[in-house]
Structure 1
Amino acid sequence: MSDGCCGHGPEMKDASAPFRRALWAVIAINATMFAVEMTAGALAGSQALKADALDFAADTATYAISLAVLGASLRVRATAALAKGASLALMGLWVFGSTVWAALGPGLPDAPVMGVVGLLALAANLASVLLLLRFRDGDANVRSVWLCSRNDAIGNVAVVAAALGVFGTGTAWPDLAVAGIMSALFLSASVSILRQSIGELRETRGAADGHEAHGAEQHP
């Protein structure tokens, strides 16, 4: 993700009602897929599916936070985005650590289950991406929602590829490699969101200082 894609977009006041409806739909999709994919990941013994399931859970919480702060001040929305960026970083580190741990143990994931559930998850995330496409250039809070959905779709393609790799090689390494790639995606998105949200917080702080200075000039 380049720095250029993280610029300030339009305010969401006029689009708040459509964005709220889109968020409610995406929350329902993600909550359902978390339950489906976590169960499938445990049954298939797939680290990539488990990582993707946790991503669905985190996204459900992320979208709920976005819904709660929609229409709030820029400072509140930027603070929410800051928290989401930090949570993405923690999730990326957790996936990385659990992948390293899984690499030390035996076991072969169930490739057919990985493939079927991966395709189902991809369909769910593509639906989310389409629902959120028109809001992809908003502020840090809105943009974090778009980045999460986009990364999820990329991750699902990787899970399907991992299933093909496990089936073709008869080893767990494709599954573990995809989990590692997903960890890198989480960390990359975290850096992007944190950078923009910190910039927005500095902007609000500068605006507040400017108002205070202007008030002091008017009332010596």
Structure 2
Amino acid sequence: MACSHDSCCPTTVSGEDGTAPRWRRALWIGLIVNAGFFLTEIVGGVMAGSASLQADALDFFGDAVNYAISLIVVGMGLRWRSRAALLKGATMLAFAFWVLGNTAWHVWIGTVPEAETMGVIGAAALLANGGVALMLYRFRTGDANMRSVWICSRNDVLGNVAVLLAAAGVFGTRTGWPDVVVAAIMGGLGLHGGWQIVRQARREVGMDMATLSPAR
């Protein structure tokens, strides 16, 4: 049964019911996949001149950092996990602003990317991220730290689908507009996801501080 309120979820991370080993294993797999595809997509995005591939690559990098932070705070108290989630949310927001700026640059110079390269790399990334998202689905209702990892994974899958749509659009129109439109949408998703994480983490930090305050 999914948690019906925030306070019930953190106890499942501490290992009392045996979920901590599975959580760590999922994080390690996610970290390896995201780090590998960051390198693949950033090189492919630059070579193909694709704003959406570069946006997806930076998202992979941000997620790899987020998984690493989550591994560090596994087993720690709610306060530390929530603070880690705040950092991850801020990272997502920063990358989202970078994506939007990079997209504006591609619009300015009128880049027409290579649709074939976009399609091949996007399809491979979708398969990898789909597997990671399925693995992390069971943790989607946890605390802000766990939920932030799920949101990152979900956004990755949506981003990969969007890259494939952009590749098809570029191939069909022979213009760069489908690529930059998708990149802008991905930047918007990053802003929305980052804000969701920051909002929940701030609420959890407030709850934790309230429990530590001496009764008057």
Query: Structure 1 length normalisation: TM-score?
Result: 0.91
- Matching residue of 2:194: 190
Deviations 1:173-206 (A, max 9, x none): 0000000000000000011101100000000110
Aligned-CA RMSD value: 1.5
Counterpart amino acid of residue 201 in structure 1: V
Counterpart amino acid of residue 55 in structure 1: D
- Structure 1 unaligned runs (5+)? 215-220
Counterpart Cα distance in 1 of 2:188 and 2:47: 25
Counterpart amino acid of residue 208 in structure 2: T
For 1:127-206, what aligned pairs fall within 5 Å after superposition?
127-206=131-210
Secondary structure at the aligned position of 2:83 is classed as helix
- Structure 2 unaligned runs (5+)? none
Counterpart Cα distance in 1 of 2:154 and 2:4: 14
Contact (CA 8 Å) 1:6, 1:192: kept in 2 or not?
no
Counterpart Cα distance in 2 of 1:31 and 1:88: 16
- Matching residue of 1:107: 111
Q: Which of 27, 34, 38 is the aligned partner of 2:38?
A: 34
Answer with 1 or 2: which has the greater Rg. 1
Deviations 1:12-34 (A, max 9, x none): 12311110011111111111111
Residues 1:120 and 1:104: Cα distance change in structure 2 (over 3 Å) = same
Aligned residues: 208
Residues 1:213 and 1:195: Cα distance change in structure 2 (over 3 Å) = same
Counterpart Cα distance in 1 of 2:4 and 2:187: 20
Counterpart Cα distance in 1 of 2:200 and 2:20: 21
Counterpart Cα distance in 2 of 1:84 and 1:107: 31
Q: Which of 6, 16, 28 is the aligned partner of 1:24?
A: 28
Residues 1:117 and 1:70: Cα distance change in structure 2 (over 3 Å) = same
Query: Structure 2 length normalisation: TM-score?
Result: 0.93
Alpha-carbon distance, 1:7 to partner: 5.4
Alpha-carbon distance, 1:107 to partner: 2.8
Secondary structure at the aligned position of 1:104 is classed as helix
Indicate whether 1:10 and 2:9 are aligned.
yes
Counterpart Cα distance in 2 of 1:138 and 1:41: 34
- Matching residue of 2:69: 65
Deviations 1:2-61 (A, max 9, x none): xxx995262212311110011111111111111111111111110100110111111101
Q: Which of 56, 77, 98 is the aligned partner of 2:102?
A: 98
Counterpart Cα distance in 1 of 2:4 and 2:151: 10
- Matching residue of 1:217: none
Alpha-carbon distance, 1:81 to partner: 0.3
Contact (CA 8 Å) 1:159, 1:178: kept in 2 or not?
yes
Counterpart amino acid of residue 76 in structure 2: A
Counterpart amino acid of residue 166 in structure 1: V
Identity %: 48
